[in-house]
Structure 1
Amino acid sequence: MKSAVLIAVSVICNFILYLSFGSFITRRIGDNKETILSDRPDASKPAGSPDTKAGGNEESCPLLLSVTVGFFFYYFLFFIACIGPMKYYRPLSMLTGIWVPFVIAVVAVSFVINGKAWLKAFKGAADHIKSHPITCLLIMILIGVQAFLVSATYNFTLDAAYYVANVATSVETNMMNVYDPFTGAWQDHYEMRYFFATYQIQDALVCQITHIPALIWTKSVMAITVIILTNTVYYMIAGRLFTYVNEEDDSKKTDKEAAVFIMMVFMFIINLTFITIYTSSLFLMTRTYEGKAIVGNLAVLMIFYLFLKMNDDTLKVRPWLMTFLVCFGAASISSSANMLLPVELTVLFIPMIFRKKKWGMIFKYAACVIPGLVFSLIYVLYVKGYFVFYTFPK
């Protein structure tokens, strides 16, 4: 029971962090009042109607975009803070001393700046739940079942052991990626495949501060966090796809919520039954806390959601900045993003740019693609023997 409470509190703290960071990106000031940019269209007003606000419609669940973007923004900033101390062989405790005060300051400032908008958003979410109690309850139960499955099942793969062992080793040695997680042996140079993936170092930092065991933090806290975030993006995408379902008939709004729930049920069934080495479902349901699972499910879907919003011009406040943060943040979580996301961006956004004939978007697209390509080039140069980063001063 004590462990369950600890896990629940830790997950809530994660979402507070993501909301605090993400609100700086999704926040806008307009009409003499501050709002948090929302993420689901108001079904009572067609997109682009004269009554809608410049940054998108006022929507029923305005916190979701802030949380999901905040997740990637958080890891983007952590990468910037981490890469220097790690490269120059500094202890994990030094990074902790830098990062923790910064996070506390960001959260405090965000509460001051965005507190009123959050209150308004939570009230809107509560009203939405009251208007669709059964559907919302079913969605919560569905997510709860998945959270239980990913945190309670046993995972014995080699990669799973690597993630947990790397976090535990970093905590015990007070160093970052210096010792082999499997053997404990000192490594004379950094393995570039993992050097830029600072996601595990953040886990180690939290474990060092809170004294939460690495196994509980990775296997339970982060697994539940990722499964909730992934279902959040499912919900957002479903809301976007069903924007025009019965939008002119207020009496049938429940039909839209039911459609969203049905789509989420089908996604759950697919993830539960399409478990092969070739699908992202395998990573989501059995290796949820790993970087590949986050990239293959959360990051890829988040890019797709942002594309949907930009494609019909319903996301006018910093859409490309959000896309950039998702791409860079994902690259700092797993090196798989370095190849996967540039391909997805090309497939989705290049046709959109040609269709809209907004050629200035080419530069924004390039800015989103460049981080992954640069990291890939660095890795290739490392493999070819052109350079090496040693784990000791030279």
Structure 2
Amino acid sequence: MTQLFLGAVSSIVHLLFFLAFGSLTLTIFRRKKEFNFFLVPVVGFFVYYGCFEILAFPMTLLLVPLHILTIAWGIISLVVLAAAAFFCAGIWRKAAKALLKSVREDKAAATGFLILVAVQLLFAAIYNLNSPDAAYYVGNISTSVYTDTMGRYNPYTGRMLSNFNVRYVTATYYLEQAVFCQALKVHPMVQAKTAFPMLILFLCNLLYYQIGKELFSSKRKKAVAFACGVLFFWIMTANPAVGAFLYYRTFEGKAILHGLALPWLLLIFLKLYRNERDRFWWFQIFAVSLGSVTISTSSMTLIPAAVLAGTVPLLFLRKRWSLCGHYAASVIPDILVLILYVSVNAGFLRLSAR
């Protein structure tokens, strides 16, 4: 029971950090008028993990102990939270009032959305998949926490690695989970397979609702219906390895890419089709690229391809070839990871873990 409570605390703290990073991002870009509690946590998610990658990846290669990362990231996150509370408290109050007003105006839509989210969160809390992949992700966090190292041990055997596996070394989000386990004393199993999956599903539903509002002219009932449709699609798709992946393997990076990162890119490009020069949304693509590197190495090909699919129609619609530069700049993180991956596999580089 204590561990479940600590897992809940971990999820709440994560949400606060996402809110803080997202709020400051909107403030820096002077987009306070667009603030709402459905959009900002998703903005903050990718900015948060992108910033974490910048800190954690070099520390991993330098063989820094995990507790140093825990202290450093804890200080950075708390400073950002304090700054957001100072600069954005007024926006939060206005957004909270607007949210309460919308709930009163359309109780049916609010109730339907809450039920939809609650059912999915309950499933994430109850369902437990035991597989080699599950063992790998939990083991990665466990070995890092209990040896005070950063990904230097084989999660299956417990033996120290000679070299880092380039397939996983840039995907440092499991180290972020280890940081919370070390700081809050959450068991890695609870953090990886209960707290984090529930958090991801919650963010996914916020995003799907927001996409629905964008597609249906801010009509709440249609937005909720769209979110229900997305749930039906994920579950009933012909290929369960793709569709239900988000629900029974949420702890894996690939599930987060297809359930959160790709739909977020869809919403971003819906915004860019209205104003292709909007720097805020191009920065969000860069944040997705950097944040997705933290989530899964698969992003090195998936995200550039997805961004290209959204950019090409813009090129033909607007006849602005300068967008090619926007595209290239926005996917730099994934291209760098791709270069690293090829270099290591070709034998040009070796990432020593000792």
User: Superposed, which structure 2 residues align to 1:313-324 within 5 Å?
Assistant: 313=275, 316=278, 318-324=280-286
Conserved? CA contact 1:162–1:181, under 8 Å: yes
> Secondary structure of the equivalent of 1:313?
coil
User: Superposed, which structure 2 residues align to 1:310-349 within 5 Å?
Assistant: 310-313=272-275, 316=278, 318-349=280-311
Deviates more, 1:3-12 or 1:155-164: 3-12
Distance 1:379 1:68, change over 3 A: same
In structure 1, the partner of 2:211 is: 237
Verify: 1:367 aligned to 2:329, yes or no. yes
TM-score (norm 1): 0.86
CA distance in structure 1 between the aligned counterparts of 2:181 and 2:156, rounded to whole angstroms: 19
Distance 1:71 1:315, change over 3 A: farther
Conserved? CA contact 1:327–1:368, under 8 Å: yes
Shift of 1:4: 4.5
User: Superposed, which structure 2 residues align to 1:110-149 within 5 Å?
Assistant: 110-149=84-123
CA distance in structure 2 between the aligned counterparts of 1:227 and 1:233, rounded to whole angstroms: 10
CA distance in structure 1 between the aligned counterparts of 2:204 and 2:49, rounded to whole angstroms: 16
Verify: 1:27 aligned to 2:24, yes or no. no
> Secondary structure of the equivalent of 1:190?
coil
In structure 2, the partner of 1:273 is: 236
Amino acid at match of 1:262: A
- Give structure 1 stretches of 5+ with no counterpart: 39-61, 245-255
Say which of 220, 225, 236 aligns to 1:257: 220
Q: State percent identity of aligned pairs.
A: 29
RMSD, aligned CA: 1.9
Conserved? CA contact 2:269–2:310, under 8 Å: yes
CA distance in structure 2 between the aligned counterparts of 1:6 and 1:173, rounded to whole angstroms: 21
CA distance in structure 1 between the aligned counterparts of 2:111 and 2:67, rounded to whole angstroms: 42
Structure of higher CA gyration radius:
1
Deviates more, 1:168-177 or 1:82-91: 82-91
Distance 1:317 1:24, change over 3 A: farther
Shift of 1:6: 3.5
Shift of 1:278: 4.7
Distance 1:112 1:135, change over 3 A: same
Verify: 1:353 aligned to 2:315, yes or no. yes
Conserved? CA contact 2:276–2:314, under 8 Å: no
CA distance in structure 2 between the aligned counterparts of 1:2 and 1:270, rounded to whole angstroms: 36
CA distance in structure 2 between the aligned counterparts of 1:36 and 1:288, rounded to whole angstroms: 33
Q: Over residues 268-306 of structure 1, what are the superposed CA-to-partner deviations in whole Å (9 max), with x where a residue is unaligned?
A: 122223373551x23201111211111111000101100
Shift of 1:97: 2.0
Shift of 1:19: 0.6
In structure 2, the partner of 1:174 is: 148
Verify: 1:220 aligned to 2:210, yes or no. no
Distance 1:366 1:378, change over 3 A: same
More helix by share: 2
CA distance in structure 2 between the aligned counterparts of 1:234 and 1:183, rounded to whole angstroms: 40
Amino acid at match of 1:318: F
- Give structure 2 stretches of 5+ with no counterpart: none
Conserved? CA contact 1:25–1:322, under 8 Å: no
CA distance in structure 2 between the aligned counterparts of 1:314 and 1:66, rounded to whole angstroms: 21
Say which of 75, 80, 98 aligns to 1:101: 75
Amino acid at match of 1:268: L
Shift of 1:83: 1.5
Conserved? CA contact 1:27–1:37, under 8 Å: no
